[in-house]
Amino acid sequence: MTTQTLKRPAQSSDIRITLTKRATRPYVNAYTGGILLGIVLFLAFFLTGNGLGASGGMNRVIVWIEDAFVPWHVDRTPYLLDMAGGSKNPLDSWVVFVGVGVVIGGFISGWFNGRLKVETNRGPRVPVRWRWLLAFIGGAFMGYGARMARGCTSGQALSGGATLSVGSWVFMFAVFAGAYALAYFVRKAWN
């Protein structure tokens, strides 16, 4: 009697290996990246009449979810009413498509450059849970701050700064000063 070898079906680990088994390429030079970002920002203004931004898109996704569960609240709140009141779809905005493009572009770039993997960057003596807690707290502060400042670092600082908005320049310097001052207290999460 002969033994036949059956081919095993493709498993999810095979797909993961296919997606992540690429040679890691070096990062783009910071000056080259800055020039490319400036060109992308110019093209965004030139082609669409809008700059770049991310927090507005995420805000509209949250309003969309809110409108699905508590539409009466959205219909009574003036700030939300502009985005999703009545039959308006909050996802019908250019900034939502920018956010989707960032996710898709980041995925493609990560795959192309051999960096598509799930990992937690942290210092050698920092537990993974502590690093995730710090990331959540920092993200919550940044999200809240972006709404208070009426934009994030890409929408407020880059796009607003490119149009020479004084408020955007003040925001940008405040972000850098605040990050530099806070870095002293959170440096142990990386050392």
DSSP secondary structure string, 19-33? HH-SPPPPPPPHHHH
- Grade residue 64 by pLDDT with cuts at 50, 70 and 90: very high
* Domain presence at residue 14: no
Average pLDDT over all residues of the chain: 84
Whether residue 175 sits in one domain with residue 133: yes
DSSP character at residue 168: H
Radius of gyration of the chain (CA): 22
Mean pLDDT, residues 7-32 taken together:
73
Q: What is residue 52's predicted lDDT score, i.e. its pLDDT?
A: 86
Q: Residues 93, 94, 98, 100: is their CA dihedral positive or negative?
A: positive
Domain count, the chain: 2
In this prediction the pTM is 0.71
Whether residue 108 sits in one domain with residue 146: no
Grouping H, G, I as helix, E, B as strand and the rest as coil, residue 53 is coil
- Grade residue 31 by pLDDT with cuts at 50, 70 and 90: very high
Domain end point (choices 70, 102, 117): 117
Grouping H, G, I as helix, E, B as strand and the rest as coil, residue 191 is coil
Domain end point (choices 117, 152, 182): 117
Grouping H, G, I as helix, E, B as strand and the rest as coil, residue 88 is coil
Round to whole Å and give the CA distance between 170 and 158: 12
Whether residue 98 sits in one domain with residue 71: yes
Query: Which domain covers residue 169, as residue numbers?
Result: 123-191
